[in-house]
Amino acid sequence: MSNILEIRDLTVMFGKSIAVHDVNINVPEGGIVTLIGSNGAGKSTTLNATLGIVPMTRGTISFNGEDVTHASTSEKVRKGLVLAPEGRHLFPYLSVYKNLILGATQRKDKEGIQQDLEFCFELFPILKDRLKQKAGTMSGGQQQMLAIARAMMANPKLLCLDEPSLGLAPAVIEDIGEKVREINRTKGTSILLVEQNVHLAFGTASYCYTLQVGELVAEGTVEEIRNNDVVKKAYFGG
Amino acid sequence: MKQPVLKGKLSLLILCVLFFVLPLALNSRSWVDLFITIVVNMVGAVALRLIVISGNLSFAQGAFMGVGAYTAGMLAVYLNVPIWLSIPAGAIMATIVGLITGWPFARLKSVYFSMGTMFMGQALMLMISAWPLAGGALGLQRIPSLTSALSGVADVLHLKGYQACYYLIFLLALFCLVIMYRMEHCRIGTTLRALAQSEEVAASIGVNPTFYRLLAVGTSCFCMGLIGGVQSHYLTTISYSSYGMNTTLWIIMYMMIGGTGKFVGPLYGAIVISIVQGIANLLTSLSGSSNNESFVAFAHWLGANSAYTPFLTAAVLLVVAYLLPGGLVGIPDTIRANRARRAEKKEAAEIAKGGSK
C-alpha cells in the first residue's frame, strides 16, 4: 500500500530548544494512524510543522507522492492535507454555517461543496439544527464536531485531528471516535489522529507511533504498542 | 443554502431614492454641495469599514483619497488628460500605492497596523506638500472643472451644472458602495471576519491571510481614489492638508458613530455628522436670500459659533460610546435588549415576591 503522507527526519526547534527531533511518520492511503504521547511530547508541534503553521528546522514532507516541504499551508489544504486544530479553534462569533463554509475556502466546485455539506449534516445532525447559532455558544462536544466538519468541508485526502478528545466527557469521546471511523469508512479519507487519550487512539487507529519528549520511542500496530513496555513507561511512568 | 436576501436592503433602497430625488428638489448650490460632501464621506466611511471587518483600523484613508485626487488633478493639469480617463487613473494609482504599502502592513496586527498606516499616510502627504509639481503648500490649482466638462450633459438633461456634477459623483459613489456591499455579503466578507477573529485558525484551514487582507485594502483604496479623483475635478483646487490626519479621523468618526456592525452604519454616521459639520455653512448661505429675520439671526449666530462643531461631534461620539454600543444603526437592537432586560428583572422580582409569601 502506498503512503499518502511521509514525514522524514522532521526536526522543529524553538530557539535553541528542540521540540521535535528526527521524527519519521508514514500514513498509508485509506488508513488510520495515531500519534500518541503525554503532555509536551511534541505531538501538536509535529502536526503544526507538517501543515506549515510552525516552521520546521529540518526534514521533508511528501504528500500524495509529491514533495510539499516548502508549500504554504493554503497550498497544502488545496492539495487535501487538512487539519482540525487542537482546542477546537473555531470562529466563535460566526455562525455554524459560516464556519462550515470557511472550511471550503479553497474550493470552487459549488456542487461538491453542497454535497460535502450534506455529508456533514448526515454525520453530525446536530449541526444542521444549529446552523444560525454562533459557534462559540455551543457545547464542547458540538464544537469539536463542528471543527471536524469544517475540516471535512475542505474535501481532505488526509484529515489530521489534533486531540479531538480534549476536555470532553467520555461518552462524547466515544461518539467522536465512532464518527472518525465512519469518515474513514464512507469517504476513504486517510486519518492522522494525534491523541493523548489512548483509549480513543487505540480504539480508532490500526497503526500507532509514540512520542516521548520530542522523539519517537515506539511504533507498531495497535496490538504491539498496547503491550509495549516502553510505551507503558512513557505513559504511566513505570 | 439560502441567504437572507431582503434583510437590511429596504433602508438602503430608501437612502438611494432620497439621495437621488432630494438634490433635484432642493434647487440650490449650497444644498447640493452638502449632499456631495455627504456622499464622499459615505464612501470614505464604508471603505474604511471594509478594512475594519478584517480586524484592522487603517489611519491612511485620507491619504489614499489624496493620492487619487492628486493623480487625477495632475494628469489633467499637466498632460491634458480628459476627465473620464484621469478619474479612473486616480483610482488605479491609489490602488497601486495601497497594495505596495499594504504588502508589508498586511503582516501587522491591530494597533501596529494603525500606527504603520498612520505614519505612512502622513509621509505620503508630506511628500506631496514638498513636490513643486504638485503645487507645494499652495496646493494644486486650476484643475479642469467637472462642471464645464459636464455642461453639455447638463443642458441636455435640463440640470444645473452643479447638479450634473452631483449625479456623476453619486453614480461613482453608488458603484463603489455596490462593489463593497457585494464583497461583504459573499464568502470574501465571511473570510475577512474570520481573519479578524483568528488569523492563525483561518490560516490553518487554508485561508491565505495576506491575499484577503490585500484584497480588502486594495478595494478600499480603489474607492477612496475614485471618489478623491472626481472630487478634485469638482473643487478645481486641492490642498494636501485636506487629505491629512484630520480627514482620516473624521472618516473614523463617521464609521464609529454610525456603527461598524452593519453595512448601513457608516452611511448613517456620514449623513448625521456631515450635516452637523455643514449646517452652519448651509444656513449662512441660505440666509442670504431669506426675509425671515429670526432665521437670519440664527444662521449668523450658528456661523459665528461654527468653530465649536468638533465639540458637538465629540459629544455625539461620547453619547454613542456610552449609550449605544452598536452605534446609530444599533439603536433598535439596543432598545430591544433594554426592554428584554427590564422584562426579565420584572419577572424575577415577581417570582421573588411570590416566594416570600
Compute the distance between CA of residue A204 and CA of residue A200 in angstroms, rounded to an integer: 6
Over pLDDT 90: what percentage of chain A?
32
Residue A197 maps to a domain: yes
**Average pLDDT of the residues in A106-114:** 87
Above 70 in pLDDT, residue A69? yes
Q: Chain B: residue nearest A86 by CA?
A: B201
Helices (H) and strands (E) in chain B, counts: 16, 0
Compute the distance between CA of residue B9 and CA of residue B3 in angstroms, rounded to an integer: 13
pLDDT of B45: 95
| ipTM above 0.90 for this complex | no
- B240: closest CA among B70, B71, B45? B70
Compute the distance between CA of residue A95 and CA of residue A74 in angstroms, rounded to an integer: 23
**Mean pLDDT, all residues of chain A:** 88
Residue identified by cell 493554503 is A74
Above 70 in pLDDT, residue A155? yes
- A53: closest CA among A12, A1, A87, A24? A12
Domains contained in chain A, number = 1
Please report residues of A whose CB lies closer than 8 A to that of B200. Answer: 53, 89
Cβ neighbours of residue B347 closer than 8 Å, sequence gap 6 or more? none
Per-residue confidence at A238, pLDDT binned at 50, 70, 90? very low
Residue A122 maps to a domain: no
Per-residue confidence at A236, pLDDT binned at 50, 70, 90? low
Residues of chain B short of pLDDT 70, as ranges, are: 1-8, 355-357
Residue spans of the domains in chain B: they are 22-243
Contact yes or no for A159/A189 (Cβ under 8 A): yes
Residues 116-155 of A with CB under 8 A from B: 117, 150-151, 154
| A62-80: burial string, b at 16+ Cβ within 10 Å, e else | ebbeeebeebebbebbbbb
Compute the distance between CA of residue B357 and CA of residue B350 in angstroms, rounded to an integer: 11
User: Any CB–CB contact under 8 A between A80 and chain B?
Assistant: no
Identity at B111, one-letter amino acid code: V
Inter-chain touch A154–B208, beta carbons under 8 Å: no
According to DSSP, the β-strands at A190-195 and A158-162 are: parallel
Residue identified by cell 467520555 is A170
**Average pLDDT of the residues in A44-69:** 90
Distance (Å) of CA A93 to CA A135, B183, B335: 6, 19, 22
Contact yes or no for B50/B184 (Cβ under 8 A): yes
Cβ neighbours of residue B334 closer than 8 Å, sequence gap 6 or more? B323, B324, B325, B326
Compute the distance between CA of residue B248 and CA of residue B118 in angstroms, rounded to an integer: 9
| B124-144: burial string, b at 16+ Cβ within 10 Å, e else | bbeebbeeeebbeeebbeebb
- Dihedral pair phi/psi, residue B154, rounded to 5°: -60, -40
Strand partners, A58: A11
Q: Which domain holds residue A61?
A: 3-87+156-236
Which of A45, A47, A74 to mutate: most B Cβ within 10 Å? A74
Residue A110 maps to a domain: no
In CATH, what number is assigned to the domain containing residue A214? 3.40.50.300
pLDDT of B204: 84
Compute the distance between CA of residue B174 and CA of residue B228 in angstroms, rounded to an integer: 14
Q: List the single residue in A78, A93, A101 with the smallest CB-CB distance to B206.
A: A78
User: Any CB–CB contact under 8 A between A79 and chain B?
Assistant: no
Please report residues of A whose CB lies closer than 8 A to that of B197. Answer: 91-94
- A51: closest CA among A211, A187, A182, A192? A192
**Average pLDDT of the residues in A85-99:** 86
Inter-chain touch B205–A102, beta carbons under 8 Å: yes
Which of B3, B201, B205 to mutate: most A Cβ within 10 Å? B205
- B223: closest CA among B64, B63, B76, B339? B64
pLDDT of B158: 84
Contact yes or no for A198/A211 (Cβ under 8 A): no
Above 80 in pLDDT, residue A4? yes
pLDDT of B93: 96
Half-sphere exposure for A43 (CA within 13 Å, toward CB): 26
Inter-chain touch A74–B206, beta carbons under 8 Å: yes
